Amino acid sequence: MSLLQTDFADAAPAPACVMVIFGAGGDLTSRKLIPALFHLCAAHLLPDSFAMLGLDRLDLDDARFRERIASDIARHVGPAFDAAVWERLEQRLHYMQIDMLAGADYEHLCQRLTRIDADRATEGNYLFYLAIPPSLFGRVTEHLGTIGLLHQTEDDWRRVIIEKPFGRDAESAAQLNRELHRNLDESQIYRIDHYLGKETVQNIMVFRFANGFIEPLWNRHHIDHVQITVAESVGVEHRGAYYEEAGALRDMIPNHLLVLLGFLAMEPPNSFEAEAMRGEVNKVLDAIQPLTPEQVLTNAVRGQYGAGVMPTGERVQAYRTSSGVAANSQTETFAALKLTMDNWRWAGVPFYLRTGKRLTAQYTEVAIQFKRAPTIMFKNTDVGELNPDMLLLRIQPNEGIQMSFSAKLPGPTMRLGQVNMDFCYEDYFGNKPATGYETLIYDCMKGDATLYKHADTVEKGWEIVQSVLDVWSALPPRDFPNYAAGTWGPAAAGQLTRNDGRSWRRIETPTAHGGLRGGNASGGRGGGCTPCG
């Protein structure tokens, strides 16, 4: 459970260090990283001996950099903003102009860090955060290694956080890992996935392994299938050029959904230590059966959104009209897969994954549908087909857990209704401010890599989707755009589950008129989402 959701009395501040952000002039720094440091500062989890050094090509000094951050920090933090906390953090923020490809500039960086060590007593511990394009990862770490800034001793540590994408296919991911390993030990590399900073994702492990009634049911004998949905209501915004090179499959499934699947399906580890946890996730990825080219045609679906109307009533344009996007773009903005595993726990249980842009709602959940109970005892009653029980893990919004099951309706006859047991984090622990990066940054400062990806995990994820990438590259889509903005994706996504006699869970979301709007690509039935509160 995140330290931001608990009593901080037992949480020790991170060790003394300098956090060095490459790309500090970018959107990620102002929207996520500085607010995350603000929340850690407010929780007294940053040490007194802490400093942040921002690096970029902008011609700024410390004062102007602080002014730049200060102009947005209150908006990004929201109601939790506290001027006293900001004043405490602001004085620890520094900036240096740098050309990331110029070796001479790293000599100046080394000198600047030496001065910060002396001024802030940061003890030579450096966390380098690479908020830069992946094409620069290898070259920046090469310069850092050459100047000696990645060399650690018994008295200090050096760690590097890198943002996704970790490659664009199996070959490039392996090449990136080789480049990083030229100057870094694997234990120094922290591949960040902000989804693993979400409370519900972390709580999957606690929910499964700390509750005796759950684990005996968590297998092919009781579970019919699993659905993982990561839906985004936004379009590509200002990321059109990047998205044209990535697409929904590359952007989300190897980096986010497969690791989430790993936590859902893993065997109980011997401990919460990083190597034990990541080893079990890798075993899950090893058990997933890569799709053959023939299976790709039936077990993988892609889509691209056209113009449409969002539930709020907003009319939005097609993906192909976005800045940086080709007028005849063949890039998918929606991807869905059916995956299976060949192991004792999950053999025969399908895992359905879907993700997309401009869908009906901004919504991320895991739906675990249990097998239907036998109906013979109800044969002489008014009960028809029994609805299957379902467990929902809501990751965003309204983080929590919901169990849906059957109960008898009041009255003299045997009639059943579907009821929900709903747990919301906000109700029990309060609505604590978080960006998803707080726990991850704090863990890196402590040297805890549990929620970070190992090189093997990255490469295995790409290997699973490589056949899909190959087939989709060889067979361009002929029906794009094939779903309207504001819907749940292309009709073919519904067929993906209907082929197995199943349907996507129906997710109900607020409409512009204050009611609820439900829908899915298959038109199937299912329970709605019960909001918290």
Q: Are 479 and 306 in contact (CB under 8 A)?
A: no
Distances in Å between the Cα of 84 and the Cα atoms of 38, 42, 457, 507 are 11, 9, 41, 42
> How far apart are the C-alpha atoms of 401 and 28, rounded to whole Å?
29
Contacts of 489 (CB under 8 A, 6+ apart): 301, 303, 334, 336, 354, 356, 359, 483, 521
Q: How many residues does the chain have?
A: 533
Burial class (CB in 10 A: 0-12, 13-18, 19+), 10: exposed
Distances in Å between the Cα of 448 and the Cα atoms of 188, 346, 442 are 11, 29, 9
Nearest to 260 by CA among 406, 105, 385, 367: 367
Positive/negative CA dihedral, 462, 467, 468, 474: positive
Q: 258 by DSSP, 3-state: which? A: helix
472's enclosing H/E stretch is helix 455-474
> How far apart are the C-alpha atoms of 54 and 510, rounded to whole Å?
41
Provide the strand spans (E) within 24-114: 50-56, 93-97
With both helix axes pointing from N to C terminus, report the angle between 34-42 and 83-90 in degrees, rounded to the nearest 10. 110
> How far apart are the C-alpha atoms of 424 and 154, rounded to whole Å?
44
> How far apart are the C-alpha atoms of 150 and 22, rounded to whole Å?
15
Residue 22 backbone dihedrals phi, psi, to 5 degrees: -80, 125
Letter string b/e over residues 223-235, b meaning 16 or more CB atoms within 10 A of that residue's CB: bbbbbbbbbbbeb
What is the per-residue DSSP string for 268-318?
Answer: PPSSSSHHHHHHHHHHHHHHB-PPPHHHHHHHEEEE-EESEE-TTS-EE--
Catalytic residue among 39, 225, 256, 454: 256
Q: Are 149 and 126 in contact (CB under 8 A)?
A: yes
Letter string b/e over residues 406-419, b meaning 16 or more CB atoms within 10 A of that residue's CB: eeeeeeeeeebeee
The answer to whether 256 is a known catalytic residue is yes
Q: Are 523 and 491 in contact (CB under 8 A)?
A: no
Burial class (CB in 10 A: 0-12, 13-18, 19+), 50: buried
Nearest to 173 by CA among 441, 469, 472: 469
Residue 29 backbone dihedrals phi, psi, to 5 degrees: -65, -45
Active-site residues: which are they? Answer: 256
